[in-house]
Each structure stands twice: as structure tokens, then as C-alpha cells.
A and B are shown apart, each in its own frame.
Chain A
Amino acid sequence: MTRAEVGQPLVQDLPSKPSGDVKAADLELARRCRHGDSAAFEELYRAHAGRLYNLVLRMAGSTQDAEDLLQDVFLHAHRKLASFRGESTLGTWLYRLAVNQCLDFLRGRQAKMTRVTDSFDAEGAAEPAAVVPVVPTAISRVDLERAIASLPDRCRAAFVLHDVEGFEHNEVAAMLGVSEGTSKSQVHKARMKLRDILGNTTNTAPR
């Protein structure tokens, strides 16, 4: 393993503190949206829907749930825009709404699927038995998306926020309402599970 493979901390490209111009533009856009300007609301949607959709898609694990969640996020945002004070960027504000919406959704679903999640948590991480890497160098996007979707909810949420979205463990912990250690543990379990899935996918794929 080379030094280059050892990651630099992943850069989080979501500024939390807006600059003066951004703040003024965000406040103006929020004001227009509040006043029923549908073009402004569409502008808001076009600017942020892509990033939010990726988040909710991977957190929820299915396109149907992701579409419903994205709709809920923007409808919720439309109702709550009055509370936007420009203390963060609109992007960050929407992102937090989306994370909270996803967590509510996952909590609701988890209540119905406790058995599945707990069984994975109880069995813990698999032992690192392989002596050579089993994850292919070029992972197919489809395989990876499918593997992420199959993770238990809590592991998936931590993995998506940390490895896909690039948040630090302390930020993930704050968003998920868990300790930093739990965030690390969930990401570790997710990586072990993904290694297992993707290793098996590679080994069983027709050659």
C-alpha cells in the first residue's frame, strides 16, 4: 500500500459560513421564495436538488424513497424558509434539513426492521482473513451503489456521510446524534461489510 493510498482528509466542499455576497444572495433568494416567487423556488431547487438527491438516495437506499424524501425536503424547506437567517449558506441549511429528514425516515423504518439491523450489529465485523486485497481496484459504480444500499441503516448513514459525503467523524457523530466512537465503529462495520460483498461479487462474477 503506497502513501498516496493513505487518504488525505477528504475535503468537505460545503461551506458552512457564507461570505458577504453569498449571504446577501441567499437571503434575497429565500425572501423571494417566501413571497411566493415560483421562479425563485425553482432556482433554489435547481441549485441544490442534485447534491441533496445524492445524499437522500444513498441514505435511503432506493430511488422511490429518495424521490419522496427529496420532495419532503423541499416542501419542508418551503415552509421553513422564514427561519433561514443567513447564518449558514442556503446549501448547508438545506443539507441539514435533508439529513434530518433522512434520519427521521430511517428511524421510522428502523423501528420496523430492528431485527435485521441488530443481527448485523451483534455479529460484528468479519475477521480480516484475506491476505491479499479482495476489493477490485476499479469498483463498478453499480456494484458499489448496490452494496451500499444493502448496508444496515445505521452503518449506511455513517458510511454515506463519512466516506461518500466527506464529513469528519465528529461532524457525522453530531448529525447522527451518536458519539464519535460510534461513528467510527459504524463506518468500520460498513467498510468490512462492503469488503465482504464486493469481494464476493468479484469472486463469483463470471469470467
Chain B
Amino acid sequence: MTCEGYTERLGDYVDGTLDAADMGAVSAHLETCDSCRALASDFSRLRVAARSLEPALPPAHVWTRISAAVEAQQHRSGLRLPERLDGVPWWRLPERLDGVAWWRLPERLDGVAWWRRLRPIQWSPILAGAAVVVLLCGGAWIAWREVANAGRSRQSTTAASAKAVETFESELSLAEEHYSKAIASLEQITKSDANALDGQTAQVLQTNLAIIDTAIGQSRDALKAAPASEVAQQSLFDALRSKVALLQDTVALINEMRKGNQAGAARIVSGMNQ
């Protein structure tokens, strides 16, 4: 066998996955071939070094972003399913969900098909068929009602659009309210404990907060001009999330400074700067 043939086997050789006969053949070749021996040695060093790479830790701000995004996700979909809904008979679910529209049920049930969350009723094709009929009838009734309302007003399209915008605005308002509460409570903590930070750090944080506040203001203006704009909505949520993240990092920084943990504080500042 040529060196090229052995080279192809060197990966398996250093991984220790060759059978005894092949292992012996490669070992014998390595005894006589400097270049293949050098290559096997390098492969082995790489393998050991790769496996012993030190673990990197995700920066603190990644969690703050994730938690804020999850919170926003929950509020936007009206999630936060109460524990007590487990095992509620399906026919009583709508009343327990405070009149939530049936088409929103999957979202309210955390993405689980709603019938899977119910008391142990065996889901059968017959029941599936019945549910489809119920849903179709419900949808038809709602559609009929919309058309009837539209007929009365003679402005069906405008009314539907206005309603969609109204729903969107109310959801947006809920999510924004949630962020505002989080921001207010975090601001309260950071203001009352601000003296734990040195002047320069506090100044930088204030500057950054001011920049984010400007972005929030601009996003709100954009949303006023185009209430259904997804870009504007995303921009506002991004800005609000950034503010929550920065404030959370500030609170964490204050805690570390109070504990006198310079290394922990430096880690947080480093995360803020990334």
C-alpha cells in the first residue's frame, strides 16, 4: 500500500477505531515512514488539543436578552397558561380562558394542540371530525357575523382593517406595558443604589440609556405613523429589550461592586461592552 493509502487510514488510526489487523499494518508502516509518522503525530496532537479546549461561557447579556424575548413572546401571545387549566374539561376551556377567541387557543396553550392538554379523553377520529365540524361552524358563524356587521356599516374592509389594527395595538400595548413595568422596577433599583458605581461607569451607563431612550422614542414615533409596521414594532421591542438588558446588567454590576467582587464586575462590564 502507498503512503496515500495509509494517509486515508491515519484518522481512524489516531481515533483508535481500526481493527487489530489494520492497526498493526498502519503501525508497521509508521515505523518506516517519517512523513506518515509525523502526520499521525500531528493528527493525534490536534485531537487531544481539540478535546481539551477550555469551555467558553456565554456573556451575561445573552440570558438577559433571552429572558426579555421570552417574556415578550409570552405577553404577545397572551400565554402564561395557569397551572389549573391542566385537566379542565375541554368544553369548559373557553370560559376558563376568559373568553379567549377559539382560534387563539393553540397559542394560549403554549403551542400544544389544545386537545392534547385536556382531561384524559381519548382522541378518536370521530372526536376529531366533530371538533373540525365545531371549528368550521364557529368560523362560519364568526365570518357571518363579520359580514353582517359589515353589511350594516357598508364599510366591511375598513372595519376589518380597523379591528385588526385595534387588536394589534392592544397586544402591542400589553407587551409595552410589561416592558415598562420591568424597566420602572429596574430603574428604581439602579437609582437607589447608583452610588455603588464609580462616577465614570455611571456616566457611561447614563449615556447608553439615553441613546436607547432616543431609539425607543423614534420607534414609537414610527409606530404612530405606521401602526401595523412589523419593522417598527420589532424596532421598538429591540430597543425595549436592550434597555431591560442594560438595566439588568447594571443591577448585576451594582451587586458585584457591593460584594467587592472586582473580577465579577469586570466580567459584567466586559459583557456590556460586547
Contact = CB atoms under 8 A, between A and B. Distances in A.
A176 B81 CA distance: 36
A41 interface: yes
B235 interface: no
B12 A184 contact: yes
B146 interface: no
Given A53-B57, A128-B7, A130-B38, A75 B44 contact: no
Given A7-B44, A71-B62, A141 B73 contact: no
B53 A164 contact: yes
Interface in A171-207: 184, 187-188, 191, 194-195, 198-199
B241 to A, nearest CB: 11
Interface stretch (B28-36, B188-196, B221-229): B28-36
Nearest to B3: A128
A169 B35 CA distance: 25
Nearest to A135: B42
Interface string A130-173: 11111111010100110010000000000100011010110000
Q: Which of B17, B40, B50, B56 has most A Cβ within 10 Å?
A: B50
B63 interface: yes
Interface residues of A, number: 63
B125 interface: no
Nearest to A73: B66
A122 B188 CA distance: 60
B39 A159 contact: no
Contact of B11 (A51, A66, A139, A184): A184
A199 B124 CA distance: 65
Q: Which of B11, B46, B63, B69 has most A Cβ within 10 Å?
A: B46
A57 B176 CA distance: 32
A50 B42 contact: no
B104 to A, nearest CB: 15
Contacts of A75: 66, 69-70, 73
B158 interface: no
B20 to A, nearest CB: 12
10 contacts: A10-B47, A35-B83, A51-B55, A54-B53, A66-B58, A74-B70, A82-B111, A131-B38, A164-B53, A191-B11
Interface of A: 1, 5-10, 34-36, 38, 41-42, 45, 49-51, 53-54, 57-58, 63, 66-67, 70-71, 74-75, 78-82, 125, 128-137, 139, 141, 144-145, 148, 159, 163-164, 166, 168-169, 184, 187-188, 191, 194-195, 198-199
Given A128-B36, A191-B42, 6 more contacts: A5-B45, A6-B13, A45-B66, A49-B63, A53-B56, A145-B53
